[in-house]
Amino acid sequence: MKILIAGDFVITHSYSASKINKNVISLFADSDINIINLEAPITESNSKILKTGPNLKVDKQSTLEALKALKVNVVTLANNHILDYGEQGVKDTLDLCEKNNIRTVGAGLNLEQASTTLHFEGKDIKIAVVNFAENEWSAAEESSAGFNPMDIIDNAEQIKAAKDIADHVIVIVHGGHEYYNLPSPRIRKQYRFYAEQGADIVVGHHSHCVSGNEIHNGIPIYYSLGNFIFTSPSNYEDWYEGLILEINICDGKINCNLHPIEQKKNSYELSLLSGKEKETVFRKISYYSSTITNDFKIMANWDDYVAMQSKEYLNYLSPLSFIKNRYVSGFLRKLNINFSGIKGSALLLNMLRCEAHRNLSIDVIKNFLRTRNY
């Protein structure tokens, strides 16, 4: 059995499937299961949810045309944009996928539906797909729509339950740090843990850039496939580069291959890379992979990333984030002062780090937002 998995897929405007190169079409045509991460809802709803960051939805006609051209038969929906247009957006997406014979995993109209494992049966083989995402705005709850949230205990139990039924369990996770080509030490530890719970392969996306991979106790882990098709402009060069993961399962063994891809700027034409361009991507992946498996290097890179993000995040956690006037906030930011203060920063650290304080803080803020009009 051949399975293809690709990264983030968002077509926000009119886009012809003819922009997808024949070499990509041929690759997908020769596969039994084709999986992409549908990063936004397919809906006519205009009811945006309150969140930080953009509210995304895809162009219905262009999206369906591209999915059909690629013979995509599975979409993962556990991502931070699936609820951007409310429960109606989730429902419309699920209904439209069902109508077009595209199976879904990772989202639902409630938590029970969202956390349902997807099963496939082939000749003498059973495959399970588990999909969840980090908790960023769109997580399902007991009686509300959204994605299957990252929860180490729940995720581990779902993986173990899937392993009891299936011969092979594919775990697909949407998480990580945008534009950072490496997993954090926490993510590396967590994905390795999922491998230890019964996953036969762990695959990640969300960072909008490619990352490395490793074999942990015999289990392959691919930390980020980057973007697949994402028709929004970016100044970040890695935005236009991605990976298609090819999984071949034969006689109980899993063999994997990576296919580097490129989107052209402005036109978003998609093609497989070859020659020197392909070799360049593989050299980068090799570097990322060697860093991932080295405890000192992954920590050193993380320390550098934390230092680079420090000013921005301290401002997020300061009173500046509550100032609506952009001219006033911009002027204050230029003063380059940490407005959080030492005591304020210490309080925030404790609220974020301590499980009891964090859980209470989350529910207090959620209840506060529910009682306000926006």
Residues 45-85 pLDDT 10s: 999 999 988 999 999 999 999 999 999 999 999 999 999 99
Contacts of 238 by beta carbon, 8 Å cutoff, 6+ apart:
179, 181, 208, 209, 210, 226
| Token couple for 239 | 């935005």
CATH code of the domain in which 153 resides: 3.60.21.10
Residue 249 has phi, psi (to 5 degrees) of -115, 120
Weakly modelled stretches of the chain, pLDDT under 70: 317-322, 332-333, 335-340, 373-374
Which one, of 116, 109, 110, lies nearest residue 132 by Cα?
A: 116
Domain boundary at 272, 293, 314, which? 293
Cβ(120)–Cβ(105) below 8 Å: no
Same domain, 326 and 247: no
- Asked whether residue 191 is domain-assigned, the answer is yes
Residue 119 has phi, psi (to 5 degrees) of -120, 140
CA distance 180 to 99: 37
Is 87 inside a domain boundary? Answer: yes
> What is the number of structural domains in the chain?
2
- The pLDDT value given to residue 330: 73
Token look-up 């929004």 returns 232
Q: Which of 293, 315, 335 is the endpoint of a domain? A: 293
Q: Provide the pLDDT for residue 36.
A: 98
Position 318, amino acid: S
The pLDDT assigned to 328 comes to: 74
Tell me: do 142 and 259 sit in the same domain. yes
Query: Do residue 205 and residue 353 come from a single domain?
Result: no
Do residues 132 and 245 share a domain?
yes
In a domain, 301, yes or no: no
pLDDT value of residue 374: 53
Segments forming the whole domain that contains residue 143: 2-293
> For 131, phi and psi rounded to 5 degrees?
-135, 125
The H-or-E segment that residue 261 falls in is: strand 253-263
Q: CA distances (Å), 232 to each of 38, 90, 164, 221, in order?
A: 15, 22, 41, 28
- Does 352 map to a domain? yes
107 and 158 in a single domain? The answer is yes
How many Å apart are CA 372 and CA 188, to the nearest integer?
38
Q: Are residues 269 and 320 in the same domain?
A: no
Residue 142, Cβ density class (10 Å: 0-12 exposed, 13-18 middle, ≥19 buried): exposed
pLDDT for the residue numbered 317: 65
pLDDT of res. 60 = 97
Q: Which of 27, 20, 24 is nearest to 3 (CA)?
A: 27
What single letter denotes the amino acid at residue 86?
Answer: G
* In a shared domain, residues 74 and 220: yes
- CB atoms inside a 10 Å sphere around CB 109: 16
Determine, yes or no, domain membership for 300. no
Spatial separation of the C-alpha atoms in residues 292 and 309, rounded to whole Å: 20
Please tell me whether residues 260 and 115 are part of one structural domain. Answer: yes
Residues 166 and 101 occupy one common structural domain: yes
Residue that terminates a domain, selected from 244, 263, 293:
293
Query: Is 189 in the same domain as 328?
Result: no
- What DSSP line would sit under 210-238, residue for residue? B--EEEETTEEEE--BBEEEE-S--S-GG
Rounded Cα distance between 28 and 229, Å, is 14
Place of tokens 């690629």: 70
104 is a domain residue: yes
Alpha helices by DSSP H, listed for the chain, are: 22-29, 60-69, 86-99, 111-114, 152-165, 185-196, 275-292, 295-316, 326-334, 342-353, 355-370
Q: Are residues 218 and 362 in the same domain?
A: no
Q: How far apart are CA 100 and CA 328, in angstroms?
A: 50
267 and 119 within one domain: yes
299 lies in some domain: no
